[in-house]
Structure 1
Amino acid sequence: MFSGDADADLRQLADDPTFPHHDAARHAVRFRASGDVAELIAVHDDPHPCGMTEVVFAMAGSKRPWLNWVPMPSEAISNVANEIGGRRARGEQLKVTRLGLSSAEPASAMTACRRIAGPVDIGIAEFPPPDIRAPVRPGRYAVWRYDGTEPLPAGPAPSAAAVRLLQDVADEPWQSPLSGYVKADPLGELPLDDLLGLLAHLPGPPDTARWQHLAKSTPTYWYRLMQPWVCLGILHHAKDEPWPTSTRRQVLVDLAFGVEDWVADAALFALVTAAYREPDLREEVRQLVRARLDAAVAANRLVTIEESLAQLMIVTPGCRADDRALATAVLARAAQDDDDEEPAPPPRKRRWWQRGS
């Protein structure tokens, strides 16, 4: 029925007077062209929702960050882990015992590196302010604690059954946040300790052809992808509790404003998914995403999740003109940094690593 070209397929549906949801398709076409999330919300809020409107929604978000895939890890330690893991997966006997970073990077990235490279000693030259180890806001729930410079899980390891369930649910990116929410439902049956344990202990990927292939190029991506899946599972936890006082809300908000980490934007993604599904939550969630993006922008140093937070802001229901302007400025600056042939002059942009045996 569809060609696989989302733009062409949506234009065809929008121009087809016999297609019962051609208005939704027109909104989807406009979203693809403008990026205005109000157009995407119009698709979701179609007056006659059905399985086909969900298909149109998924096509609208095809190949867009957070709507269809999780941004790739961008940390220096992640790049090193990808090189080490990729070379080993291709058969090279590579031994690495020591790495160095000019400044601290997220705990999840550090832990993912060790999952791939083994028990590597990682030296960190400095923890520039604001200290990455300190939560943005105090909260009850956390997945990381620090022993000096070392990030450690704040709770117990997940059960073997929880790991198997995660590997089954999270094998692929979601077609859309809506379908991802549905697929993550079984994770919501896990105890909360299991869900929090999955976020920090970072179990390995499923033994499938997809992840065997990615092991040769970007083995860190599994760890980046699995955490939003777990947070979608948290969104299903104790669903009978009223949202304002629910455990699921408190956990996700605490993680979003915890230590600077992949878990933060993963938790916000789950909240954004809730906002798509529940219009009454949209303003609260918009404020939360904006507040976390503001905190990243205000930091006078490199924040590796800043770009992904900006990408998430742009697709947050209710995103205002000022929210979009800030997010667009962040993304433009990141693109400029990527295009610069010379190293960026501010010290906060410099990172290095080394290896030894």
Structure 2
Amino acid sequence: MPEDINAASLIALADRLRAKPAQSHERLELVTSCEGLPWLGRVPAATESCIKILAQTDPKTRSMPCELGISSMEVPSALTTFRRWWPKAVIAMGDPGQPDPRKPLKPGIVQWRFDGVNASPALSPPSTAGSAAIAAHFAGLPWAPPPMMYDAAGPLADIEAEDLLASMVHPPQMPAGRWDRLPGLWERYIQAWCCLGLLHHRPEQPWPTSTRRQMLIELAYGVEDWITEAALYALITAAWVDPACRSDVAGLVETRYLMMREAAETRPLTIGVSVAQLVYITPGMPNETLNHAVDLTAASQEWPGNGSVSLGGPPAPPPRQRSLLDRLRRR
């Protein structure tokens, strides 16, 4: 990818493609430019320590009893993924810290219940047909730029919203193959696809008062989790394909990011870099917030902070002190 590629230029390219969908060379340029980039060409890998442990062990080891100690609570999706991969493991975790990540920031859809720091799904499993349809649709499709992902998720409109929500906490059976080598990635892709499916729910409703918008907001502002990232991504995808909702989405994403930054001042936050990357690809995001997102990713040598980027406005200032990112990533 050329060093001077930035999200603003990619969004502008997508806008030109939307105006002239027959321009195959612009479609190819967008796909090529986004290839390998977090959320634009792939779902970023999980960063939780329990998932990293899975990646460092083999199936034989994971068939044995295990006791794992984690200094602070990690997100529910990571912990339940760990238990699916290592069913005989016992996990001891420290205090979740404040503000409490188990408490939703807005009332709404409840996907996790907690017994202390231990999380379990609050929803019943999806229907067999719904789960199978989600897995079958997703398994053969590559990740692509937001406009292509929006179109690819169209068939998920036929799946009940209840099945999409339930599949985020009860993911379909993981197929054998490359997913075996990437613990947690199947679950993260499923959650993102399900949120894209919700984006197609009741499409006839005007965006500001739509059920799809409300559901995604409730997920994005719910319990801190991988689902937070997936819901924010779906909202951002809506902004890529519909300029009329860009101001609304930018405000929603920015507010969630600012809440995350505040939380990171007092406790660890494993999804911080990923959410910063989502901020960077949000159409209409204010430059001050974009600059902070670039600084945060630069401190961990992650995109977009690991290269020369342009925000379409004033140059980004030099990276700030590392303390914020250290809090976001420390274990």
TM-score range, shorter chain: 0.7 to 0.9
SS in 2 for 1:45: helix
Match of 1:168 among 129, 136, 146: 136
Aligned residue identity for 1:290: E
2-side partners of 1:283 and 1:119: how far apart? 47
Quote the offset at 1:78 in angstroms: 0.8
1-side partners of 2:194 and 2:327: how far apart? 35
2-side partners of 1:104 and 1:236: how far apart? 33
2-side partners of 1:92 and 1:142: how far apart? 34
Match of 1:244 among 196, 201, 208: 208
Match of 1:60 among 11, 15, 33: 33
CA deviation vs aligned residue, 1:325-357 (integer Å, no higher than 9, x gap): 110121123339xxxxxxx9x788653xxxxxx
SS in 2 for 1:152: strand
Decide whether aligned partners of structure 1 residues 166 and 206 sit closer, same or farther in structure 2, where only a CA change above 3 A counts: farther
* Map of 2:314 onto structure 1: none
Quote the offset at 1:148 in angstroms: 2.2
Does structure 1 residue 146 correspond to structure 2 residue 114?
Answer: yes
- 8 A contact 2:220–2:229 mirrored in 1: yes
Does structure 1 residue 50 correspond to structure 2 residue 17?
Answer: no
Length-normalised TM-score, structure 1: 0.79
Aligned residue identity for 1:82: A
Quote the offset at 1:167 in angstroms: 1.4
* Map of 2:170 onto structure 1: 201
State the percentage of identical aligned residues: 35
* Map of 2:4 onto structure 1: 34
- Higher alpha-carbon Rg: 1
Does structure 1 residue 103 correspond to structure 2 residue 72?
Answer: yes
Decide whether aligned partners of structure 1 residues 110 and 38 sit closer, same or farther in structure 2, where only a CA change above 3 A counts: same
Decide whether aligned partners of structure 1 residues 188 and 51 sit closer, same or farther in structure 2, where only a CA change above 3 A counts: farther
* Map of 2:194 onto structure 1: 230
Q: Structure 1 unaligned segments of length 5 or more: list them.
A: 1-6, 8-31, 337-343, 352-357
Aligned residue identity for 2:253: V
Q: Relative to structure 2, which stretch is displaced further, 91-100 or 147-156?
A: 91-100
SS in 1 for 2:42: coil
CA deviation vs aligned residue, 1:83-104 (integer Å, no higher than 9, x gap): 33xx11xx56741332221100
1-side partners of 2:81 and 2:130: how far apart? 19
Does structure 1 residue 82 correspond to structure 2 residue 55?
Answer: yes
Quote the offset at 1:51 in angstroms: 5.2
Q: How does 1:242-281 map to 2 (within 5 A)?
A: 242-281=206-245
Decide whether aligned partners of structure 1 residues 151 and 51 sit closer, same or farther in structure 2, where only a CA change above 3 A counts: farther
Aligned length: 305
Length-normalised TM-score, structure 2: 0.85
Aligned residue identity for 1:273: T
Aligned residue identity for 1:41: I
Match of 2:301 among 329, 335, 349: 335
* Map of 1:191 onto structure 2: 160
Does structure 1 residue 314 correspond to structure 2 residue 280?
Answer: yes
- 8 A contact 1:139–1:254 mirrored in 2: yes
* Map of 1:339 onto structure 2: none
SS in 2 for 1:151: strand
Aligned residue identity for 2:68: L
Quote the offset at 1:37 in angstroms: 2.2
- 8 A contact 2:246–2:284 mirrored in 1: yes
Decide whether aligned partners of structure 1 residues 203 and 115 sit closer, same or farther in structure 2, where only a CA change above 3 A counts: farther
Q: How does 1:202-221 map to 2 (within 5 A)?
A: 202-207=171-176, 212-215=177-180, 217-221=181-185
Aligned residue identity for 1:205: M
Q: Relative to structure 2, which stretch is displaced further, 297-306 or 253-262?
A: 297-306
Quote the offset at 1:49 in angstroms: 3.2
1-side partners of 2:227 and 2:35: how far apart? 23
- 8 A contact 2:126–2:164 mirrored in 1: yes
Quote the offset at 1:145 in angstroms: 2.0
- 8 A contact 2:126–2:162 mirrored in 1: yes
* Map of 1:355 onto structure 2: none
Aligned-CA RMSD value = 2.3
- 8 A contact 1:188–1:234 mirrored in 2: yes
2-side partners of 1:316 and 1:190: how far apart? 27
